[in-house]
């Protein structure tokens, strides 16, 4: 099961709903066969996202979304074991995908920013792939994870 934790949701003004954003995160994870994971999403103002963008990317300006991966996308535990249990039948630890930091004031579509950030946390990169990430992003947005 994908656990999504939200911080600063008051910056959203209620739209989109946290339930919808959770479904979009789950749809992105499911699309790349990741289960039993946790992600934290924080909504921040332009000043805070600019600080983070400067310190982590060297770009002194606000942006829409930043992704901070933690565990990566490899299965945890014994090689060849399923994602839920190791070779001895013990539960594997929940994968800590990482953190998304989103500035609602810098994006016209928070849902798109959430999916975009999630796909980065899941190991995809539109700057190095051949269009797969952005294609999957469009598909997930069209489906709407309703």
Q: Please report, for the chain, the start and end positions of each structural domain, with discontinuous segments joined by +.
A: 2-77+84-143
Give tens-digit pLDDT for 54-90: 999 999 999 999 999 987 655 444 334 344 555 666 6
CB atoms within 10 A of CB 82: 12
Local confidence pLDDT in tens for the 146 residues of the chain: 899 999 999 999 888 999 999 999 999 999 988 878 999 999 999 999 999 999 999 999 999 999 999 876 554 443 343 445 556 666 556 788 999 999 999 999 999 999 999 999 998 888 888 889 899 999 999 987 55
- Element of type H or E holding 2: strand 2-7
Measure the CA–CA gap between 59 and 4, rounded to whole angstroms.
28
Superfamily of domain 2-77+84-143: Metalloproteases ("zincins"), catalytic domain (3.40.390.30)
Residue corresponding to tokens 């060849």: 80
**Token pair for residue 65?**
């979304």
pTM: 0.83
pLDDT on residue 128: 84
pLDDT on residue 76: 43
Q: Which residues contact 100 (CB under 8 A, 6 or more apart)?
A: 39, 40, 41, 42, 65, 66, 67, 68, 114, 117, 118, 121
pLDDT on residue 130: 86
Strand order in the sheet with 2-7: 2-7, 37-43, 95-102, 65-69
Give SS3 for 131.
coil
40, 68 contact by CB (below 8 A): no
């Amino acid at each position: 099961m994908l656990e999504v934790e939200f911080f600063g949701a008051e910056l959203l003004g209620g739209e989109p709903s946290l339930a919808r954003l959770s479904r979009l995160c789950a749809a992105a994870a499911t699309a790349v066969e990741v289960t039993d994971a946790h992600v934290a999403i924080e909504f921040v103002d332009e000043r805070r996202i600019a600080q983070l963008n400067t310190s982590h990317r060297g770009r002194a300006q606000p942006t829409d979304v930043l992704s901070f991966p933690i565990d990566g996308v490899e299965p945890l535990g014994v090689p060849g074991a399923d994602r839920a249990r190791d070779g001895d039948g013990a539960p594997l630890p929940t994968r800590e995908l990482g953190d998304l930091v989103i500035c609602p004031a810098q994006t016209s579509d928070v849902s798109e920013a959430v999916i975009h950030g999630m796909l980065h946390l899941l190991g995809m990169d539109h700057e190095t792939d051949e269009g797969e990430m952005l294609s999957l992003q469009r598909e997930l947005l069209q489906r709407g994870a309703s």
